[in-house]
Amino acid sequence: MADCLRLKKSNCRNCYKCIRHCPVKSIRFSAGQANIIGDECILCGHCFVVCPQEAKEIVDETEKVRVLLKSGDPVVVSLAPSFAANYDGVGIEAMREALKSLGFYDAEETALGATIVKREYDRLLSEDKRDILISSCCHSVNLLIQKYFPSCLPYLADVLSPMQAHCVDIKRRIPGAKTVFIGPCVAKKDEAQIYPDMVDAVLTFEELTNMMKDEGIEPRREIIPNDESRARFFPTTGGILKTMKKDAPGYSYMALDGVENCISALRDIERGLIHNCFIEMSACAGSCVGGPVMEKYHKSPVRDYMSVARFAGKRDFDIPQPAESSIRKLFDPIQHNAAMPSEEKIKEILTEMGKTDPSLELNCGSCGYNSCREKAIAIYQGKAEMSMCLPFLMAKAETLSDTIVNNTPNGLIVLNDRLEVQQINSAAMKIMNLNSATAILGDNVVRILDPIVFLDVLESGKGVYNDRVYLTEYNRYVEQTVVPAEDGRMLIYIMRDVTDEEHERKKKEEISRQTVEVADRVVDKQMRIVQEIASLLGETAAETKIALSKLKESINDE
């Protein structure tokens, strides 16, 4: 298969949206990155449309077309009829003028090829009398049948697509011509490559628009009516039927759009429940006007249908019908080798995912697969990872979280922004003498704690850390931390019981106080003794002085 869709790895963000929307689950996840499985992909482009990170891109063939334009060969555009919806108010004459300004030799409507194809469908029903005939205009539908419903291949119309029929006709009429198809489809790039020598390159409308912008070309708004243009209805749901005669006796005619609807019909065909009918199948909802490039950048289904309907005439294009053999196309089954696990292996994988009982198989689809069993098969095939199961991850996270929360020695309380208790662990219940969490869960925290600190944190948006307080009602000292979470919608309250530490601290303070008091008493007593000694020494000295003075006076008198 041609590499028409690819992944921009730097953009892929592990969201699984592409696998949820992939109708055939042809995406492999590895290390959180989505990789398209080429031999399983039907190129419907859904992953390109829904990817929120722009991680899927259609391979650009602009440079290939520029090389063709410089080759000297006449390069003719086959323009898909859905252009009338993509370029509002612009007719084929204005588009031809713009395309010639880009260097193209000429531009024609793919609807010319559609006229050839629908005539052959009418012939197959009226002359070959096919039991069931499925339109083969949509390459994604063709790939769907080739890869997933090979038993339905005999019912697939063995006729060229309008793109191919038109390009073959261009090359027949213009010797040496190169053909470039322009439309809203990624699958056409693949169709052009796997059926060579018909279409030389394929551009999307987006690529054409960018080319015109680079050259400063703006198509003028003008539509010239042409009543011989009924095949312009082809890109709408039921558009093929609108152009057909629908006169084959005994046949029913129906139109289906969307891969899921096509798959449902193909399953009924496999079971033998459908007969004598022509089925127009389109992979895109709304048919080609709902193609991936249209849906990504120009999604307006009702307006797009009206644009095409106003542009279409009531009679067929005047174009000769080629020989049947020149528009014949064969379809072979396309194998994809995805091994199927045994029932025992499936059960083993389901058990690893925590689905130990069928009742636990939620089939929620969050991983992108329709059932847990389908997901288990994808894991076996290497297409999915165990971690893609949201309930499995949640259960694992909750188990880990509960283990941590319930075994931490610190008390933990989770509150919402209304200060209602959402979670409380056993350590917190022990601190506050609660017998059961249900006694407080859902109630306001004011029942068990002073709410002031929580209100302050809610108002300021700033946490409180390691604030030591005394809980009077519980006769405990705690070191409390209050942290806002989830943009202030939740509060996490952590309390560390420091009652023993506080008692030990106070005991040490009391010992220190008593020591200081003893020291003060000792000092006071010593000071008194010193003062008494000093006083006694003072009295003795005075008496001695008096005695000596009297002795001196006595000696002097003699």
Does a structural domain hold residue 384?
Answer: yes
Contacts of residue 204, defined as CB under 8 A and 6 or more positions apart, other chains included, come to 58, 182, 183, 184, 185, 186, 293
Question: Of the candidates 56, 52, 57, which has an alpha carbon nearest to the alpha carbon of residue 15?
Answer: 52
Of 356, 375, 398, the residue that ends a domain is 398
Question: Of the candidates 371, 151, 154, 138, which has an alpha carbon nearest to the alpha carbon of residue 262?
Answer: 138
**Please, where are the H alpha helices in 408-498?**
426-431, 452-460
d(CA 465, CA 454) in angstroms, rounded, equals 12
Q: Are residues 355 and 320 in the same domain?
A: no
Tell me whether residue 386 is exposed, middle or buried, using C-beta atoms within 10 angstroms of its C-beta: 0 to 12, 13 to 18, 19 or more.
middle
105-115: string of b/e by CB count within 10 Å (b at 16+)?
A: bebbbbbbbbb
d(CA 549, CA 538) in angstroms, rounded, equals 17
Does a structural domain hold residue 190?
Answer: yes
Phi-psi region of 412 (alpha: psi -120 to 50; beta: other; left: phi over 0): beta
Q: Are residues 269 and 224 in the same domain?
A: yes
Q: Which pLDDT value is given to residue 275?
A: 95
Sequence letter at residue 304: D
Question: Of the candidates 403, 555, 395, 416, which has an alpha carbon nearest to the alpha carbon of residue 487?
Answer: 416
Q: Which pLDDT value is given to residue 1?
A: 47
Assign 3-class secondary structure to 366-394.
CCCCCCHHHHHHHHHCCCCCHHHCHHHHH
Write down the number of H helices and E strands in the chain: 20, 16
Q: Are residues 247 and 354 in the same domain?
A: no
What φ, ψ does residue 297 adopt, rounded to 5°? Answer: -120, -10
Does a structural domain hold residue 517?
Answer: no
pLDDT per residue, tens digit, the chain (558 aa), is: 447 888 877 778 778 888 889 999 999 887 778 889 989 999 999 999 998 888 888 999 999 999 999 999 999 999 999 999 999 899 999 999 999 999 999 999 999 999 999 999 999 999 988 999 999 999 999 999 999 999 999 999 999 999 999 999 999 999 999 999 999 999 999 999 999 899 999 999 999 999 999 999 999 999 999 999 999 999 999 999 999 999 999 999 999 999 999 999 999 999 999 999 999 999 999 999 999 888 667 678 889 999 999 999 999 999 999 999 999 999 999 998 778 889 899 889 888 888 888 888 888 877 778 888 988 898 888 888 877 777 776 666 666 666 777 778 899 999 999 999 998 998 999 999 998 888 898 899 999 999 999 999 999 999 999 999 999 989 999 999 999 987 778 899 999 999 988 888 888 888 878 887 877 787 778 778 877 777 776 666 666 666 556 666 666 665
Q: Which pLDDT value is given to residue 3?
A: 76
CB–CB of 60/51 below 8 Å?
no
d(CA 202, CA 200) in angstroms, rounded, equals 7
Q: Which pLDDT value is given to residue 543?
A: 65
Q: In CATH, what number is assigned to the domain containing residue 33?
A: 3.30.70.20
Assign 3-class secondary structure to 58-112.
ECCCHHHHHHHHHCCCCEEEEECCCHHHHCCCCCHHHHHHHHHHCCCCEEEECHH
Does a structural domain hold residue 252?
Answer: yes
Q: Are residues 378 and 427 in the same domain?
A: no
Question: What beta strand segments (E) does 226-305 contain?
Answer: 252-257, 277-282
Q: How many CA atoms lie within 13 A of 35 on its CB side?
A: 12
Q: Tokens for 57? A: 């891109």
Q: How many residues does the chain have?
A: 558
Question: Of the candidates 330, 328, 326, which has an alpha carbon nearest to the alpha carbon of residue 172?
Answer: 326
Q: Are residues 296 and 347 in the same domain?
A: no
Of 267, 298, 327, the residue that ends a domain is 327
d(CA 513, CA 521) in angstroms, rounded, equals 13
Q: Are residues 208 and 90 in the same domain?
A: yes
Q: Are residues 253 and 129 in the same domain?
A: yes
Q: In CATH, what number is assigned to the domain containing residue 363?
A: 1.10.15
Q: Tokens for 353? A: 């995912």
d(CA 451, CA 413) in angstroms, rounded, equals 13
Question: Which residue carries 């297409």 as its tokens?
Answer: 383
188-215: string of b/e by CB count within 10 Å (b at 16+)?
A: bbbbbbeeeebbbbbbbbbbbbebbeee
Residue 244 in 3-state DSSP?
A: coil
d(CA 120, CA 515) in angstroms, rounded, equals 114
Of 327, 352, 375, the residue that ends a domain is 327
Nearest-5° angle of CA 273, CA 274, CA 278?
170
DSSP letter assigned to residue 283: S
Query: How are strands ordered across the β-sheet holding 132-134?
Result: 132-134, 277-282, 252-257
Contacts of residue 319, defined as CB under 8 A and 6 or more positions apart, other chains included, come to 112, 115, 116, 169
- Residue 159 β-bridge partners: 328
Does a structural domain hold residue 367?
Answer: yes
Residue 410 in 3-state DSSP?
A: coil
Q: Tokens for 300? A: 């307006």
Q: Are residues 261 and 131 in the same domain?
A: yes
Does a structural domain hold residue 519?
Answer: no
Q: Tokens for 514? A: 């008593």
CB–CB of 289/303 below 8 Å?
no
SS3 percent helix, strand, coil of the chain, rounded to 5, is 50, 15, 35
For strands 421-424 and 56-58, give the pairing: unpaired
Does a structural domain hold residue 266?
Answer: yes
Q: Are residues 236 and 185 in the same domain?
A: yes
Count of domains forming the chain:
4
What φ, ψ does residue 337 adopt, rounded to 5°? Answer: -95, 70
CB–CB of 162/117 below 8 Å?
yes
Q: Say how far residue 282 (Cα) sits from the centre of its chain.
A: 25
Q: Tokens for 291? A: 């193609």
Q: Are residues 253 and 373 in the same domain?
A: no
Does a structural domain hold residue 556?
Answer: no
Report the predicted TM-score, pTM, of the whole model to 2 decimal places: 0.73
Q: Say how far residue 16 (Cα) sits from the centre of its chain.
A: 5
DSSP assignments along 481-534, one per residue = EEEEETTTTEEEEEEEE-HHHHHHHHHHHHHHHHHHHHHHHHHHHHHHHHHHHH
Q: Are residues 218 and 112 in the same domain?
A: yes
Q: Which domain holds residue 365?
A: 339-398
Q: Are residues 426 and 372 in the same domain?
A: no
